[in-house]
Amino acid sequence: MPKWNVVYCDQPHPIAPEIAALSNDFNLIRLPADASREEGLSILRTAHVYHNPNPPWRLDREVLEQCPELLFASPDGAGYDSIDVSECTDRGVCVANQSGLNSGTVAEFAVSVMLAHAHRILPADRAMRRDRSWTRLSFTGSDLRGKTLGIVGFGNIGSQVGDICRNGFEMNVLAYDPFVSEERVRARGAEPATLETVLSESDVVTVHMPLSKDTQGIIGRRELERMKHDALLITTARGGVVDENALYEVLRSGHLSGAGIDVWLEEPPSINNPLLTLDNVIATPHIAGSTRQGYRAVSVAAAEQIVAVLSGEKPKRIINPNVWPKFLERLHASIKSSLLTEAG
């Protein structure tokens, strides 16, 4: 059997020990984010697997052209906007993500933002540290109990947010997701609705859609202005799903009570991003899935999937299933080439 080269970008919980614990058939190669262009491409030219592609090493056409041996690519989470899936499919490169593995972690985070905003925890904390020109009444909050929650994207994360809010706070839950059947939405305790209805009838709207050409800017100025006056918007999806400029203008106008933003077009966002000037914005640097337990679950599952796919086993979370016949041809050719080289 060949010795597979697995290239992985820096990440909080390294995948290398997890792969090493499963198999000895891998060379584990770290690609530092600060590597030079020449150094990075020289590493990627020998890669059979590329895990967790990130800027400046996104797996786009330019990088793929430098990866003739590449068989499998996987992100470090559910989102795969850092990988050109169409180009991978054309080249016979299988792509699979880690969807659902830290969904509970992200769901907890979204609910924590709701609670922090509703009970005005951040303004109170800031004021306590600043001066004493306030009274307790300055931080009067509002209960979540009995309010309406709108979920945009009712997959693994969105459905768990709905479960927590319905069972914990007796919230009425509306859900919009064109890829989930109405029957499935109702089975998870939510009421299926159009995007317009979710936005216009919800006290809190939380966004959990992946970034794609269909979801880019799906929440723009018109959609934001449909929301209730004093509603809260939370996004732990991907930067670009919510139009940042439009959100800033709508928040500044006073139409919304606030926002919780964990994902940004530029990550981390510029210190001059206007959204960071607003006191009613809870801003975090893409940490919704950042717990020790979440990192570990993703890394273990990703390692298991890498080992399995190079054994010819179809990955559980494959993104481009149409690639599989071509992938198998390339996998077998790679194995044959390696065996002939060893024999020679």
Task: Answer yes or no: 286 catalytic.
Answer: yes
**Neighbour order of strands in the sheet with 49-51:** 26-31, 4-9, 49-51, 72-74, 94-95
Residue type at 151 in one-letter notation? I
Which entry of 65, 267, 313, 329 is annotated as an active-site residue? 267
Measuring CA to CA, which residue among 153, 154, 138 is closest to residue 189? Answer: 154
Which entry of 91, 117, 238, 244 is annotated as an active-site residue? 238
The Cα 327–Cα 45 span in angstroms is 18
220: its two tokens: 């723009």
Which entry of 48, 51, 91, 286 is annotated as an active-site residue? 286
Dihedral of alpha carbons 24, 26, 32, 35, sign: positive
Would you call 306 exposed, middle or buried from its count of C-beta atoms within 10 A (0-12, 13-18, 19+)?
Answer: buried
Measuring CA to CA, which residue among 288, 319, 277, 279 is closest to residue 82? Answer: 319
- On whether the CB atoms of residues 197 and 148 are closer than 8 A, the answer is no
- On whether the CB atoms of residues 34 and 56 are closer than 8 A, the answer is no
The Cα 137–Cα 267 span in angstroms is 36
Task: Answer yes or no: 267 catalytic.
Answer: yes
Task: Answer yes or no: 225 catalytic.
Answer: no
The DSSP 8-state label assigned to residue 198 in this structure reads H
Which residues belong to the active site?
238, 267, 286
